Structure 1
Amino acid sequence: MEDKPKFRPNTSLKLMDQVREVLRYHHYAYRTETSYCQWILRYVRFFGNKTHPKDLSSQHVERFLSNLTTQGKVSASTQRQALNAIIFLYREVLDLPLDGKISPIRSKKQQRPPTVLTQEEVKNLLQMMRGTHALMSKLLYGSGLRLMECIRLRIQDVDFGQNKIFVRGGKGGKDRTTLLPGNVREELQTHIRYVINLHHRDSEDGFGKVYLPEVLARKYPNAEGETRWQYVFPAKKRSVDPRSGRKMRHHVMESCLQKAVKSAVNRAGILKRVGCHTLRHSFATHMLENGVNIRVLQTL
């Protein structure tokens, strides 16, 4: 069986347009596209805009990455992201695999134990929140969801009959199911009824479609206008999709929930360093304290 020929970008385009073309061909997430483009631009500008990356070598990549550590003081994960972006540039866009081993000065990876709230602290935190942000925070804690997993939930992912939430494309691209907390069931049902009505109004105005990954959009061409594919937590205003240029209603911004949690932490007088992910850590710890088997917890 012959290997599938490698995709080649249009060489008549500018470098960054070639990068975007290849990223979209391989169906990279828009957030990944944005961060990769930022790092590649930063790499190009580091050696001067007149120097093309094809004229640079592994030693230049090392120099750039080392500078991020020594001068930029970036974390190990940030340095690794920059390296991945540059490797993508050479391997997938320029078709010039870097020769030799790249060994820059490494950022030190700091191991910090996760912050965990007591059950009383979680209760005080949630009491300081109102509306949709409170509901989202209850799901982070009661279902052990990550921030983006919660924000990207679609109506069909909530199964009230089985009291389950289906997480699609979680960390590592894996799907899983987790618990639907009984104490948010009624509140979530009311919220989803509101979202369905909002979608109907958008449809009447001609804006009832939602973003779908390209593969799904091709397989189910009418799905983007169906109610079940709408986000559980839609944005207040419609916006223009940066790729398609169409006006639609996307999900809420993650920064809004992060700010709401931070504000609630301050009002609750909690002195620990708390963020949205702290609720997930607290969920896991409290489940273990209540005698849940660790294997069951890992599955959730």
Structure 2
Amino acid sequence: MDDIPIPLPHRPQRFMDRLRAFMRSRHLAYKTEKTYCFWIKDFIRFHQMRKPQELNKRDVDEWLSHLANRRSVSINTQKTALNAVVFLYKQFLEIDLGELRFEKTSKGRRLPVVFTHQEAMAVLEQMHGYHKLAASLMYGSGLRVMEAVRLRVQDIDFAQQCLFVRESKGEKTRRTLLPTSLLAPLKAQVDLVLALHQRDLEEGFGAVYLPFALSKKYPKAATSPNWQYVFPAPERSKDPRSDAIRRHHVGEQQVRRAVANALATTGIRKKASCHTFRHSFATNLLAKGTDIRNIQELLGHTDVNTTMIYTHVIGIHERGVVSPLD
């Protein structure tokens, strides 16, 4: 349950608790909240635990330059740290930092690792049960691992043969492909989920976590079959915020471990992970001539420049380039 926000005091007094409460009032994703808090704490520690209100833009420049020069972070990491501290000052403290003049990192962005279709299928063949189904959705629909485990029954549209990804990065909703080969396994999984849900109801449980304030707006939604997770946890557990006993979704780490074990079995010598399936979804579509804007929409990228990175990953052979030696 590492994606459930930690409970906060009713009236937060500590600085970080007040900051977290402010982030939640702005509906930031919990993963964003954790990332921003990590970098803000790093910023405070770098300046010997001084209060951010006592610091200025030169102190921010010094810290960001330190990340580039001393810690050799990547471009994206430095951008994330910058976003965190700008949110702290501009949104939370309402302090205008003005124009920042920090040294930008020279460590470039790495190209994503991708599977060939044969490698992706080889990894999937070593997996079983719901782990295999979740990984198949990452490759066949371009889902992130968190998006796969958070799927609800209502997110699967069998008639239109598509998936709705709602609890996504940045809280954006998008529609993506549902592979024909996964229709039967997903229907079987949904039947299993509904049977498990019925048993939970009979035992006096059956409610699931609902995002934001939906549980107050729709009191019966938590026990509705539509809101049940497609990949429910084997056991019920206590929600740390309300102490309610619920059945959450399976943990991301369980799926990550299953993919890592499958990779070790296949002997594929790549620095691959769950996210490699998502990268491979994009590069396979691009190699087949799918328009980059369509791929952007399927992946849920806000900026097409983020999607453009895959144009550098497509192999030279797919682009018809042949070595002079050959």
| TM-score, shorter chain, exceeding 0.5 | yes
Further displaced range: 102-111 or 227-236: 102-111
Give the Cα separation in 1 of the matches to 2:167 and 2:118.
32
1:223: which partner in 2? 221
Further displaced range: 75-84 or 18-27: 75-84
Give the Cα separation in 2 of the matches to 1:118 and 1:16.
44
SS in 1 for 2:123: helix
- Are the aligned partners of 2:286 and 2:292 in contact in 1 as well (CA < 8 Å)? yes
Relative to structure 1, the CA distance from residue 245 to residue 23 in structure 2 (aligned partners, 3 Å threshold; closer, same or farther) is farther
1:137 to 135, 138, 145: 135
1:198: which partner in 2? 196
User: Deviation of residue 128 (structure 1)?
Assistant: 0.9
Which letter maps to 1:213?
P
Question: Could you tell me the TM-score, scaled by structure 2's length?
Answer: 0.78
User: Deviation of residue 16 (structure 1)?
Assistant: 1.4
Give the Cα separation in 1 of the matches to 2:171 and 2:24.
17
User: Deviation of residue 171 (structure 1)?
Assistant: 4.6
User: Deviation of residue 245 (structure 1)?
Assistant: 4.4
Give the Cα separation in 2 of the matches to 1:209 and 1:11.
28
How many residue pairs align between the two structures?
A: 289
Give the Cα separation in 1 of the matches to 2:286 and 2:250.
32
1:90: which partner in 2? 89
Question: Are positions 1:14 and 2:1 aligned together?
Answer: no
1:101: which partner in 2? 99
- Are the aligned partners of 2:73 and 2:107 in contact in 1 as well (CA < 8 Å)? no
1:41: which partner in 2? 41
Unaligned 5+ segments in structure 1 are: 1-9
SS in 2 for 1:214: coil
Relative to structure 1, the CA distance from residue 173 to residue 199 in structure 2 (aligned partners, 3 Å threshold; closer, same or farther) is same
Q: CA RMSD in A?
A: 2.6
SS in 1 for 2:35: helix
2:307: which partner in 1? none
User: Deviation of residue 133 (structure 1)?
Assistant: 0.9
After the TM superposition, which residues 153-232 of structure 1 pair with which residues of structure 2 at under 5 Å, given as runs? 153-232=151-230
Question: Are positions 1:252 and 2:259 aligned together?
Answer: no
Which letter maps to 1:71?
R
Relative to structure 1, the CA distance from residue 33 to residue 240 in structure 2 (aligned partners, 3 Å threshold; closer, same or farther) is farther
1:274 to 272, 275, 293: 272
- Are the aligned partners of 1:18 and 1:93 in contact in 2 as well (CA < 8 Å)? no
Question: Are positions 1:69 and 2:74 aligned together?
Answer: no
| Structure 1 residues 83-123: Cα deviation after superposition (integer angstroms, max 9, x where no partner) | 2222222233323232x322222223523333332222222
Which letter maps to 1:15?
F
Give the Cα separation in 2 of the matches to 1:92 and 1:296.
33
User: Deviation of residue 224 (structure 1)?
Assistant: 1.9
| Structure 1 residues 152-210: Cα deviation after superposition (integer angstroms, max 9, x where no partner) | 21110111222221122545543332222222222111112222222233334444222
- Are the aligned partners of 1:22 and 1:92 in contact in 2 as well (CA < 8 Å)? no
Which letter maps to 1:39?
W
- Are the aligned partners of 2:29 and 2:169 in contact in 1 as well (CA < 8 Å)? no
| Structure 1 residues 265-296: Cα deviation after superposition (integer angstroms, max 9, x where no partner) | 22112122322222223233334555656555
- Are the aligned partners of 2:139 and 2:277 in contact in 1 as well (CA < 8 Å)? yes
SS in 1 for 2:176: strand
Relative to structure 1, the CA distance from residue 97 to residue 244 in structure 2 (aligned partners, 3 Å threshold; closer, same or farther) is farther
Further displaced range: 235-244 or 53-62: 235-244
Give the Cα separation in 1 of the matches to 2:11 and 2:285.
55
SS in 1 for 2:31: helix
User: Deviation of residue 12 (structure 1)?
Assistant: 7.7
Further displaced range: 32-41 or 235-244: 235-244
SS in 1 for 2:89: helix
Relative to structure 1, the CA distance from residue 165 to residue 204 in structure 2 (aligned partners, 3 Å threshold; closer, same or farther) is same
2:301: which partner in 1? none
Give the Cα separation in 2 of the matches to 1:133 and 1:256.
8
